[in-house]
Structure 1
């Protein structure tokens, strides 16, 4: 059996034609993945982290929740949150690209294994400097940073600063 592998262009055409069905999807390594509906914990953490990031970094970064990011010709994940280089007006007439990204955040529960094995390597290959996985299952923050992307684990309540902002940390567990 042969799988059909999509490029981002094919994926956009198939989505526009309604060929990918209802609901949210994302393209990872040429394959289309249907995204599970967000549970209440996932929604809560995305919302709370969005508020926290806006309060802390809005003067130095654009906080962009739930938007897709083309990271390769065959991959367009949809991270839960991104911190992007300002100003916001940069993204009025174009989508962000990997060079715009300061930090990607994925809130992970049912998708934890997929986020670790598929998304983190895609972000690394695209040159994203830092990825945070908010691991809801183990209540830990997993931080992956260039150049080696080896995970660093932080317990609940620990102050963690994104690389782009030096020592300006967040108590990540909201």
Structure 2
């Protein structure tokens, strides 16, 4: 027997509803979740390689961008009415009110970086699509297992039109700051002898 209709439909959530659920205490305060395209996603636990790469990347970008932009770590970005991800790193415009009135929106985001140890497929497919649809021009996925950087650019409704994979010995420049040269190896955990 061929089933032509799904036996159920998923309930999609808006950012407003997602915030209301949080205010009502539906989520545990320590629970790591984010809203992507109307779906409440539980984020995977951070491994040691992920944590090391995140810390190294944060310190590197904090010193590099100094007074030119803010580097936010695992803070929300307001993509649209149905997506509020918490990227590992977001380089955003400086805001006079310290983003007290709103989370950064796509027009205020220079660069988003996700660090992937167990989440590579999710970051390259699901998150990349959400970021592209919102017009995030520069999206990087730091693959700590393969020691590579996936650079996504040219956002479109169906996803990014360009993905370049760079090895750990390469140098990369952010789209909005083309004179900055970042060694990919400096973002990755050191290789232990």
Same fold, judged at TM 0.5 (above): yes
* Superposition deviation, residue 87 in structure 1: 4.4
> What secondary structure sits across from 2:40 in the alignment?
strand
Is the 8 Å Cα contact of residues 140 and 154 (structure 1) preserved in structure 2?
A: yes
* CA distances 1:141-168 after superposition (whole Å, capped 9, x unpaired): 0000124542111110311100111131
Rg larger in 1 or in 2? 2
Distance in 2, matches of 1:93 and 1:77, equals 17
* CA distances 1:116-138 after superposition (whole Å, capped 9, x unpaired): 11111111111111000001122
Distance in 1, matches of 2:87 and 2:26, equals 23
* Superposition deviation, residue 81 in structure 1: 0.4
Of the three residues 7, 10, 13, the one matched with 2:17 is 10
* Superposition deviation, residue 37 in structure 1: 2.1
After superposition, the Cα gap between the structure-2 partners of 1:149 and 1:104, relative to the gap in structure 1 and judged at 3 Å, is: farther
Residue 71 of structure 1 corresponds to which residue in structure 2?
Answer: 79
Distance in 1, matches of 2:27 and 2:130, equals 22
* Superposition deviation, residue 20 in structure 1: 3.4
Aligned-CA RMSD value? 1.6
Q: Detail structure 1 runs of 4+ shifted over 6 Å in the superposition.
A: none
* Superposition deviation, residue 94 in structure 1: 2.6
Higher relative helix content: 1
Q: Normalised by the size of structure 1, how large is the TM-score? A: 0.92
Is the 8 Å Cα contact of residues 109 and 136 (structure 2) preserved in structure 1?
A: yes
Residue 132 of structure 1 corresponds to which residue in structure 2?
Answer: 140
> What secondary structure sits across from 1:18 in the alignment?
coil
Residue 151 of structure 1 corresponds to which residue in structure 2?
Answer: 163
Residue 117 of structure 1 corresponds to which residue in structure 2?
Answer: 125
Residue 34 of structure 1 corresponds to which residue in structure 2?
Answer: 42
* CA distances 1:81-104 after superposition (whole Å, capped 9, x unpaired): 011112464524332111100000
Question: Is 1:19 the equivalent of 2:26?
Answer: yes
Q: Normalised by the size of structure 2, how large is the TM-score? A: 0.84
Give the gaps of 5 or more residues in structure 2.
1-7, 187-193
> What secondary structure sits across from 2:34 in the alignment?
strand
Residue 177 of structure 2 corresponds to which residue in structure 1?
Answer: 165
Is the 8 Å Cα contact of residues 106 and 132 (structure 1) preserved in structure 2?
A: yes
